[in-house]
Amino acid sequence: MDYTTILVNLRKIVRSVNLESKRVEKEFGVSIPQLLCLHYLTKQTDYQSTVTSIANYLNLNLSTVTGIIGRLEAKYLIAKLPKTGDRRKTSVVLTAQGFELLEKTPELKHQQLNKKLSGLSQKDLIDLDRSLQWIVTCFELDNESASPLITIDDFTSYTSGEPDTAK
């Protein structure tokens, strides 16, 4: 087998994800991580969650998620409300405007893949996971963040040659 085919397929995946990200941002004014945050809230009781739960779901650090939430709040797509019983804590709540935006946006590749993966057998999932882990190891990406966006911190650590340990 020609290794070039594997590399071409990896490039197709990366390019497709990048193009989707740019298209969604241009058409709807939100980034993929912001959209994933809104989708997460639709699955929560009363359409609300904590910042920590959102950060865990997105696999991002709290400071990055705080920025995402701030941008969504500025667009009135979410609201931060005092938590019942403890006014020092806040809940992040999906607004009607946020829900309307989600109804307009197309299904993301992330969601399409999730549906396809749910149809695989446990053995196929394990085989796929091992193959992807092998690629991650080959690229020496084991300690990289799985962040769905690049932040200035990522760029700074990449250009300085030092690993980003804040994630």
* pLDDT, tens only, 136-150: 899 888 877 665 544
Q: How confident is the model at residue 156 (pLDDT cuts 50, 70, 90)?
A: very low
CB 33 within 8 A of CB 71: no
Mean pLDDT of 114-120: 93
Q: Which residues contact 60 (CB under 8 A, 6 or more apart)?
A: 33, 68, 145, 147, 148, 167
Is residue 151 predicted with pLDDT exceeding 80? no
CB 48 within 8 A of CB 3: no
Q: What pLDDT sits at residue 150?
A: 45
Q: What pLDDT sits at residue 141?
A: 83
Let me know how long the chain is: 167
Q: What pLDDT sits at residue 85?
A: 76
CB 109 within 8 A of CB 16: yes
| Alpha-carbon span 114 to 110, nearest angstrom | 6
Q: What pLDDT sits at residue 147?
A: 57
Is residue 53 predicted with pLDDT exceeding 70? yes
Using a cut of 0.85, tell me whether the model's pTM lies above it: no
CB 64 within 8 A of CB 147: yes
Kindly report, residue by residue over 55-105, the tens digit of the pLDDT. Answer: 999 988 899 999 999 999 999 999 999 877 777 788 999 999 999 999 999
Mean pLDDT of the chain: 85
Mean pLDDT of 107-111: 86
How does DSSP classify residue 87?
A: E
Extract the tokens encoding 112: 């399409």
**Crossing angle for the helix pair 51-58 and 32-42, nearest 10 degrees?**
120
Q: All domains of the chain, ordered by start, with CATH?
A: 3-160 (1.10.10.10)
